Amino acid sequence: MYKILIVDDEKIIRMGLKTTVDWESMGFEVVAEASNALEALEKYREFFPQVIITDIRMAMGDGFFYLMN
């Protein structure tokens, strides 16, 4: 199973991405969610997901800067 981290500052978007897709049937598992780039970096270091679905513009940094460094 591939691990997914969902990153978005809007809770409704995170919930929608998590619940509207049957991830398991495609070989994926949502292992963590984050509401900003700093939290995403912490979750990345904790879970080491293979896939990150991220919003680009968020408070406390963007979806590229922190995850790429």
Cα first-last separation, the chain? 25
On the question of pLDDT at 66 being above 80, the answer is no
Domains and CATH numbers, the chain: 2-56 (3.40.50.2300)
Rounded to whole angstroms, what are the CA distances from 13 to 33, 36, 45?
Answer: 11, 13, 23
The pLDDT value given to residue 14 = 96
Contact 47, 33 (CB under 8 A): no
pLDDT tens digit sequence for 20-59: 999 999 999 999 999 988 898 899 999 999 999 998 877 6
Q: Which helix (H) or strand (E) covers residue 66, if one does?
A: helix 65-68
Q: In the prediction, which pLDDT does 61 show?
A: 67
Q: What is the pLDDT of residue 41?
A: 87
What is the CA angle 53-3-10, rounded to 5?
35
